[in-house]
Chain A
Amino acid sequence: MNALTEKLRLRLDEDQLTNCMRCGFCLPACPTFAETGLEAESPRGRIALMKAVTDGIMVPDQAFEDQMNHCLGCRACEPACPAGVQYGQLIEQARDAIEDHKEHKTWVKVTRKAAFKTVFPHQERMKWVGRGLQFYQKSGLRTVAHASGAMKLFPKHMRDMEKILPDASGKGVVEKIGERHPAKGEKVATVALFRGCIMDVLFTETNIHTVDLLTAAGFEVVIPREQNCCGALHAHSGEAEGARDLARRNIKAFKAAGVDYIVSNAGGCGAILTEYDHLLHEDPQWREDAVWFAERVVDISDLLVRAGRSLDFSQDKTQGVAEPVRITYQDSCHLRNVMKSADAPRKLMRQVEGAQFIEMKNADRCCGSAGIYNVTQPVMAGQILDHKMEHVEATGASYLLTSNPGCLLQMKHGIDEQGLSGQMKAVHIVDFLHERMKK
């Protein structure tokens, strides 16, 4: 028997595979199926492939591996599945087995090790990345790289991403504003902010604005310094053990903070945080704490709507009144499909004075960013983005709001690519709300 078959048999959850009824209800929800119309590019098809391998009907070949990687992991199929099949777990198990089996080329091994083992797991090391990027952007090196044509050494999709990266920071939110922030007015509850890794060096301001919104809504905010990367990229790239390790460290850090909620402002991070209980369900030592942790995780929009004091989004006239604007929203797949939060962001947007919310067609469909998918699968990601941008443009909005850094960068890229920069910009919902909040 093929060694990968053996690994897949061990990893894949047989009950979940059997639970797929092949009814096909997932097909219309799947973005890669929508693009290609191919059964193999659908959740039902991918599950059938996994099952065929475990049943010994097919030997996992390169096409099988490619197909597993072709899935965006947006998990839109899960809410569409009447049988409740946990597709996200299955695809992670498949990728984990494939990764475990893979003999990477040396450079890939080095890069993966650097990313997954050396940088992401260490919050302080993310700051080096931030500082390095900041140096690159600010020192003139970026200008040189662009002017000299050195950037041409990179594939187009990498160059495109480089262009739209926001200004990085060598300091994260804790370094900038400290660890503890009292509620304004009477305290509603105490929350811990999950600051994220990329989020914290590329979107430090968004983290700061998150703290402002939370304190204004009556929450005392703690930002545990010891926290780390959430592990989502690890889990989605077949590095399950790395993800578990990060989960344990985060649970430890937040448990010590003793808070009512753990709040996230990135759908991708938030989703895996809510699944720590699943990630560690086979670890008797951590199982209980993981449940404690997962139960407390909530997205900023949801928390503001659910438990916060109502905020006033009629921006202070003295701060220079913003023009009335049309805004639209691209769902973060993981926020919508895993954290089940689609209404809260919309509710908040509708509360903003002078902003007219326009629902975009297929807002609930993945934008193609999907973690690092737009880097690993540029062709499909590009195709999905093109279709997405047609819908974006049709809204006529001047603000395209998102709830996750990956989606935000992808939307910035899309706007850039379609030459729409003059008429609209992509902004994190937190930054938009913060700007329009009466201070």
Chain B
Amino acid sequence: MLQEEVRRELISILGSEHYKDDPQSLVTHSYDGTPMLQSLPDAVVYPSSTEQVSQIMKVLSRFKIPVVGRGSGTNLCGGTVPVHGGVVMVMHRMNQILEIDLENLTATVQTGLNTKQFSTHVESLGLFYPPDPSSMSISTIGGNIAECSGGLRGLKYGTTKDYVIGLEAVLANGDIIRTGGKLMKDVAGYDLTKLLVGSEGTLAIITEAILKLIPPPRYKKTMLAMYKDLYGAARTVSKIIENRIIPATLEILDNATIRVVDDFAKLGLPLDMEAILIIEQDGDEEAVERDIAIITEVCKSENADQVSIAASLEEAEKLLTARRSAFTALARLRPTTILEDATVPRSKIAEMVVEINRIALKHQVQISTFGHAGDGNLHPTATTDARNKEEIERVEEAFEEIFEAAIRLGGTITGEHGVGMVKSPYLEWKVGPAGMDVMKAIKSSFDPHNLLNPGKVFAKETRKRVVIQRG
């Protein structure tokens, strides 16, 4: 519970309807999509404007109360778990599309806006917003920006960072800043827009965003390649790229994932295959047809058992939707799924897959692998049971080795989920001590009292294992 004085001030800003500190509200804002993490806040607030957010931040900074901005709480790194208590700021009421500028092809939106709603609206205007995190039907634009969400189209179109060109945000002290604008070019000083994207709510509360829109592809085709051998599937990925083809989507699913996804979506996937690749190419018809023909050849040369093309857009969409459900669907095997996010250069995908299997076997844990193979972003996912402490420890040891392997292969500890709580002990492995110092200095210049999403990104304890980061 917050001090009575703070409570009173917040209620006077928000109205009592939009300030909650009953047990029900606290419990339902104590978690996100990350397994096994939970921490109760002291209050939940629902602001309706940037001005209100600013007033709230002024009160909270005066009383040194921590705050966690929250969209829909779908992130997978513990990013919205209020681990230091304080206030959870839910952005749902700020969900307006403020402007679609057809002359500049930009959209200005409030950040509580649902990603899917935005994307659908833009499509109805004949435009395209490519970022498509798997959780997009639930997630918000603000959450996507805070976490720099990726998705199935990252390979060809990039991720959220590539479409955010301007921001309005409230700093810890309540000051409002505006960065970027409806500009394709802007080198006036440091690029604060890019800095805020992916800052996981630790630098500011982002309230508005200017997003870049692009013309939609005219044509697309989706195919399914099936493999009796996982290694062959993984190797196909780099072969496709080597052939100078960048598909819009290039996803890999291993056998366990194929099974659970099919159990959920009833697609009739081949259950006896060790892996499948879901590949989509879009663009002009002629180019797409040419690419698909080449990809088919590459798949066959890597011993694909079967290659098939989706008969309709509906069938293709079903396939992609099924893929998006993979991590939760794995809970059909065991109650807890711990989804990780190891990313390597795409030439190393096959090696990484082999490493993951070796490490899982060594620690006697079940780890299934699926992911955005085309951009090197794999999601090794342990299926376990949160109630079995001993097994959870083994899972954690295995993941530690997986992160080491990823870095050894020139990769990173997280490709699209963020550091949050779960990766913070490993961040130094990736960025090195000097990198950590710079990041910490940036944090303290934005938020000297560490009120914005404390306990994230920077861990108290860094894992001591020495790993030399190269290239």
Which listed segment binds B: A18-26, A306-314, A316-324, A349-357? Answer: A18-26
Contact of B72 with A24 in the complex, beta carbons under 8 Å: yes
Q: Is A84 an interface residue (CB 8 A)?
A: yes
Contact of A27 with B332 in the complex, beta carbons under 8 Å: no
Q: Is B135 an interface residue (CB 8 A)?
A: yes
Contact of B74 with A63 in the complex, beta carbons under 8 Å: no
Contact of B328 with A23 in the complex, beta carbons under 8 Å: yes
Which single member of A18, A57, A64, A84 contacts B40 (CB below 8 Å)? Answer: A57
CB-defined contacts of B28 to chain A, threshold 8 Å: 38-40, 45, 48-49
In whole angstroms, what is the CA distance A165 to B438 when docked?
Answer: 72
Contact of A15 with B328 in the complex, beta carbons under 8 Å: no
Contact of B74 with A23 in the complex, beta carbons under 8 Å: yes
**Nearest chain A residue, comparing its CB with the CB of B92:** A37
Which listed segment binds A: B30-38, B54-62, B147-155, B401-409? Answer: B30-38
- Most A C-beta atoms less than 10 A away, residue of B72, B260, B335: B335
CB-defined contacts of A375 to chain B, threshold 8 Å: none
Looking at the assembled complex, report how far the CB atom of B339 sits from the nearest CB atom of chain A, in whole angstroms. Answer: 9
CB-defined contacts of B73 to chain A, threshold 8 Å: 22, 24, 39
On chain A, the number of residues with a Cβ less than 8 Å from chain B's Cβ atoms is 29
CB-defined contacts of A48 to chain B, threshold 8 Å: 27-28, 30-31
- Most A C-beta atoms less than 10 A away, residue of B74, B92, B93, B328: B328
Q: Which of B383-404 contact A (CB under 8 A)?
A: 385-387
CB-defined contacts of B138 to chain A, threshold 8 Å: 24-25, 27-28
Contact of B385 with A82 in the complex, beta carbons under 8 Å: no
In whole angstroms, what is the CA distance A25 to B324 when docked?
Answer: 10
CB-defined contacts of A58 to chain B, threshold 8 Å: 23-24, 26-27
Contact of B325 with A82 in the complex, beta carbons under 8 Å: yes
What are the interface flags for A57-69 relative to B under an 8 Å C-beta threshold, 1 for contact and 0 otherwise? 1110101100100
**Nearest chain A residue, comparing its CB with the CB of B137:** A28
Q: Is A83 an interface residue (CB 8 A)?
A: yes
Q: Is A52 an interface residue (CB 8 A)?
A: yes
Looking at the assembled complex, report how far the CB atom of B114 sits from the nearest CB atom of chain A, in whole angstroms. Answer: 8
What are the interface flags for B1-44 relative to A under an 8 Å C-beta threshold, 1 for contact and 0 otherwise? 00000000000000000000011111111111111001010000
Q: Is B309 an interface residue (CB 8 A)?
A: no
In whole angstroms, what is the CA distance A52 to B29 when docked?
Answer: 12
CB-defined contacts of A18 to chain B, threshold 8 Å: 335-336, 385-387
Q: Which of B256-312 contact A (CB under 8 A)?
A: 260-261, 263-264
CB-defined contacts of B122 to chain A, threshold 8 Å: none
Looking at the assembled complex, report how far the CB atom of B161 sits from the nearest CB atom of chain A, in whole angstroms. Answer: 23
CB-defined contacts of A344 to chain B, threshold 8 Å: none
Contact of A39 with B29 in the complex, beta carbons under 8 Å: yes
CB-defined contacts of B31 to chain A, threshold 8 Å: 22, 48
What are the interface flags for A4-26 relative to B under an 8 Å C-beta threshold, 1 for contact and 0 otherwise? 00000000000100110111110
With known contacts A22-B33, A23-B74, A83–B329 Cβ distance under 8 A: yes
Which single member of B29, B30, B38, B328 contacts A83 (CB below 8 Å)? Answer: B328
With known contacts A21-B331, A23-B328, A48-B28, A63–B23 Cβ distance under 8 A: yes
**Nearest chain B residue, comparing its CB with the CB of A59:** B23
Which single member of A23, A27, A67, A84 contacts B327 (CB below 8 Å)? Answer: A23
With known contacts A27-B72, A82-B328, A22–B32 Cβ distance under 8 A: yes
Looking at the assembled complex, report how far the CB atom of B71 sits from the nearest CB atom of chain A, in whole angstroms. Answer: 10
Which single member of B27, B137, B263, B326 contacts A52 (CB below 8 Å)? Answer: B27
Q: Is A81 an interface residue (CB 8 A)?
A: yes
Looking at the assembled complex, report how far the CB atom of A71 sits from the nearest CB atom of chain B, in whole angstroms. Answer: 13
* Contact residues on B (Cβ < 8 Å of other chain), bracket: 35 or more
Looking at the assembled complex, report how far the CB atom of B319 sits from the nearest CB atom of chain A, in whole angstroms. Answer: 14
Q: Is B337 an interface residue (CB 8 A)?
A: yes
In whole angstroms, what is the CA distance A24 to B34 when docked?
Answer: 11
With known contacts A19-B331, A48-B31, A49-B28, A24–B135 Cβ distance under 8 A: yes
CB-defined contacts of A59 to chain B, threshold 8 Å: 23
In whole angstroms, what is the CA distance A63 to B22 when docked?
Answer: 9
In whole angstroms, what is the CA distance A371 to B185 when docked?
Answer: 59
**Nearest chain B residue, comparing its CB with the CB of A45:** B28
In whole angstroms, what is the CA distance A23 to B134 when docked?
Answer: 10
**Nearest chain B residue, comparing its CB with the CB of A23:** B328
**Nearest chain B residue, comparing its CB with the CB of A25:** B328
**Nearest chain A residue, comparing its CB with the CB of B328:** A82
CB-defined contacts of B328 to chain A, threshold 8 Å: 21, 23, 25, 81-83
Contact of A15 with B335 in the complex, beta carbons under 8 Å: yes
- Most B C-beta atoms less than 10 A away, residue of A39, A45, A49, A64: A39
CB-defined contacts of A67 to chain B, threshold 8 Å: 24
With known contacts A28-B137, A52-B27, A23–B33 Cβ distance under 8 A: yes
Contact of B331 with A40 in the complex, beta carbons under 8 Å: no
Looking at the assembled complex, report how far the CB atom of A326 sits from the nearest CB atom of chain B, in whole angstroms. Answer: 24
Q: Which of B140-159 contact A (CB under 8 A)?
A: none
CB-defined contacts of A39 to chain B, threshold 8 Å: 28-29, 73, 90
Looking at the assembled complex, report how far the CB atom of A64 sits from the nearest CB atom of chain B, in whole angstroms. Answer: 6
**Nearest chain B residue, comparing its CB with the CB of A40:** B28
CB-defined contacts of A83 to chain B, threshold 8 Å: 328-329, 331-332
With known contacts A63-B23, A82-B329, A83-B329, A23–B135 Cβ distance under 8 A: yes
CB-defined contacts of A61 to chain B, threshold 8 Å: 23-24
Contact of B329 with A63 in the complex, beta carbons under 8 Å: no
In whole angstroms, what is the CA distance A57 to B27 when docked?
Answer: 8
Q: Which of B350-404 contact A (CB under 8 A)?
A: 385-387
CB-defined contacts of A37 to chain B, threshold 8 Å: 92-93
In whole angstroms, what is the CA distance A202 to B447 when docked?
Answer: 66
CB-defined contacts of B332 to chain A, threshold 8 Å: 82-84
In whole angstroms, what is the CA distance A27 to B26 when docked?
Answer: 18
What are the interface flags for A84-102 relative to B under an 8 Å C-beta threshold, 1 for contact and 0 otherwise? 1000000000000000000
Looking at the assembled complex, report how far the CB atom of B377 sits from the nearest CB atom of chain A, in whole angstroms. Answer: 18
Contact of A24 with B24 in the complex, beta carbons under 8 Å: no
CB-defined contacts of B325 to chain A, threshold 8 Å: 25, 82
Some 6 contacts from A to B, beta carbons below 8 A apart, are A21-B327, A21-B328, A24-B72, A59-B23, A64-B23, A82-B329
Nearest 5 CB-CB pairs, A to B? A83-B331, A82-B325, A82-B328, A82-B329, A39-B28
15 more A-B residue pairs beyond the given contacts A21-B35, A28-B138, A39-B90, with a C-beta to C-beta distance below 8 A: A19-B335, A22-B32, A23-B33, A25-B325, A25-B328, A37-B92, A39-B28, A40-B27, A57-B27, A82-B261, A82-B329, A82-B332, A83-B329, A84-B263, A84-B332
